[in-house]
Chain A
Amino acid sequence: MNNSTDIIIIGAGPSGTAAAMILAQAGKRVVLIERGDFSGCKNMFGGAIYTTPTKEIYPEFWNTAPVERGIIRHSYALLGELDGTTISYDKQSSGETYEAYSVTRAKWDRWCAQQAEEAGAVLVKETLVKEILKDGNRIIGVKTDTGEEFFSKIVIIADGVNSILAKQLGFRKDIKPEHVALSIKEVLSIQKEAIEERFNLSDKTGCTYTIIGGPMSGITGMGFLYTGTNTVSIGVGVSLDDLQKNFLKPYDILNELKKHPILSPLLKGATLKEYSAHLIPEGGFKTIPKLYGNGVMITGDAAMLVNNVHWEGTNLAMFSGKYAAETAIEALEKNDFSENTLALYEKKLKNSFILKDMKTYEDVVPTIEKNAEAFLGYYPQKVNEFMDMFTTVDGIEKKTKYTGFISSVFKEKTLPSLIKDGIKLVKLAAGVFVK
């Protein structure tokens, strides 16, 4: 039967392509199904890929992959209405490679798919999987939008955040608005030399910004900025719950952010190359679905594997794809595709940074979301007020200014609410460090 293979992978994003390449390298027969014209054409992220995890899957990728700038600086900007406080960490590369590289998903995912094809995987594009085929409680294949059926010993579901297929299998319930963020971004064309001058970069280096406050003050949302070779990507990710309840238009927020006096000079004269949008899984550890069943595994965003605190998703996707592939290789060697054998996939995830990190941070996003007004609104604003007071020279005695600042906090916040916020922060920190 020519419509039967060892493994079918649904979705040729970072997770599916990594799984496909590893399986093909092990000599297994793999069919990778992608609904888009090419891999990456439905995808968007900040974004950058991190070298250390990525090179475990694609050794020396920086020599051939479409990477743009090597990231040497991470800046964190707390924006007030018109002012802002920015903290930056700079680290020049000490060797041949950089800690991370800016990429676009249209190019990066496509390159990853090429690696899988070169290893021997069969990439089927422009094909949407509509249904997972079952025989009793065993997954046996897929049905596509043209009505064709393909059969395999294992199906790996890597179809992204909306994973209709995981839902169809009953592996997860409906996603709630508070468990996703809607991210939009604009890729802006700016001359290469202008980028280097404005951001203080060399011709190969780049930087990123994490942005808090400004037009997102008090809502669960953050902004981001990444420098490409001759583009700057700027965007926001806002909890869908907050957008829905407050009747906010995401592009209005981004328009406001671009106008902010801290960012606007960096973007001067830019033209819009492409606008895009995507959902980000934000539910964390508690929303991870059932990860495997008889003849099936779920990886990447489809499995909600995103660490929001560190903006990590792509490497979790690639690694979950890797672990699913390794599990599938063992299952093929044992000729046993049952739930019992595929449980190894979850075991591998549990023993790795993926589920360990997600467990560590399980309470962070929900706590921030519940207290967005304080943690993403009031306190960042107070940082800017403090900096304003600290840097202004005006002939007023310093001690008076400090007392004034402290008493302003007590005027705006009651002592119990300050203590409560403090306890929340300590609990969060304790949760992160002690777990």
Chain B
Amino acid sequence: MSVEKTTPGNIDEKLSTIKYKPDEKSHLSVINQDKCKDCNKACTFFCPARVYEWDESQQTLIIKYENCLECGACRIGCINQNINWEYPNGGFGVIFKNS
């Protein structure tokens, strides 16, 4: 069978192949939620783990930090420099085993 049928195209399914040890506390946070309202929200596109999602009804940026691959793209790519980005504490976060 063709590769697009045997491998998931959906990001959540891709992420399910990764081992994580999530901390209880998020290592990512938005500095000023108001700034996100007028932003183009490019982070919801370029983040390779789809950590960021815009909640239209609540007008807030949801951060699914448990999915984070710790690449740092959002730290650099946020046009408002509005993400407080830290590494998870030692031992926590993503554990790549085969990459």
Contact = CB atoms under 8 A, between A and B. Distances in A.
Nearest to B78: A244
B25 to A, nearest CB: 12
B77 to A, nearest CB: 5
A243 B44 CA distance: 11
Given A44-B99, A106-B97, A251-B11, A276 B69 contact: yes
Contacts of B48: 182, 184, 250-251, 277
A118 interface: no
B15 A275 contact: yes
A162 interface: yes
Interface residues of A, number: 61
A174 B81 CA distance: 10
A177 interface: yes
A35 B87 contact: yes
A276 B99 CA distance: 7
A259 B4 CA distance: 6
B45 A243 contact: yes
A277 B94 CA distance: 10
A145 B9 contact: no
Contact of B71 (A248, A249, A272, A279): A279
A319 to B, nearest CB: 23
A70 to B, nearest CB: 20
Interface of B: 1-4, 6-9, 11, 13-15, 17-18, 21, 40, 42, 45-46, 48-50, 69-73, 75-77, 79, 81, 86-91, 93-99
A369 interface: no
A184 B72 CA distance: 13
B95 A275 contact: no
Contacts of B1: 268-269
A40 B87 contact: no
B71 A255 contact: no
A276 B14 CA distance: 9
B98 A251 contact: no
16 contacts: A35-B87, A36-B95, A43-B99, A44-B96, A162-B87, A176-B76, A177-B77, A180-B76, A233-B99, A240-B76, A249-B46, A259-B2, A271-B6, A272-B8, A276-B69, A279-B72
A188 B3 contact: yes
Given A35-B87, A270-B3, A255 B77 contact: no
Contact of B95 (A41, A240, A250, A255): A41
Contacts of A185: 99
- DSSP majority for the A interface? mixed
Nearest to A251: B11
Given A37-B21, A274-B17, 11 more contacts: A162-B72, A176-B76, A186-B7, A240-B77, A250-B46, A255-B9, A259-B4, A275-B17, A277-B49, A277-B69, A279-B76
A162 B75 contact: yes
A227 B44 CA distance: 32
Contact of A42 (B6, B46, B50, B70): B70
B3 A258 contact: yes
A273 B7 CA distance: 9
A85 interface: no
Contacts of A341: none
**Residue in B6, B15, B18, B99 with the greatest tally of chain A CB atoms within 10 Å:** B99
A287 interface: no
A264 interface: yes
B3 A268 contact: yes
A216 interface: no
Contacts of A277: 48-49, 69, 71, 73
Contact of B45 (A37, A174, A247): A247
B60 to A, nearest CB: 20
A104 B73 CA distance: 22
Given A41-B96, A272-B8, A244 B15 contact: no
Interface string A74-97: 000000000000000000000000
Interface string A223-240: 000000001010000001
A343 interface: no
A244 B77 contact: yes
Contact of B6 (A233, A247, A269): A269
Interface in A143-194: 144-146, 161-162, 164, 174-177, 180, 182, 184-188
A240 B61 CA distance: 20
A293 to B, nearest CB: 22
Interface in A278-326: 278-279
A83 to B, nearest CB: 18
B42 A104 contact: no
A127 B90 CA distance: 4
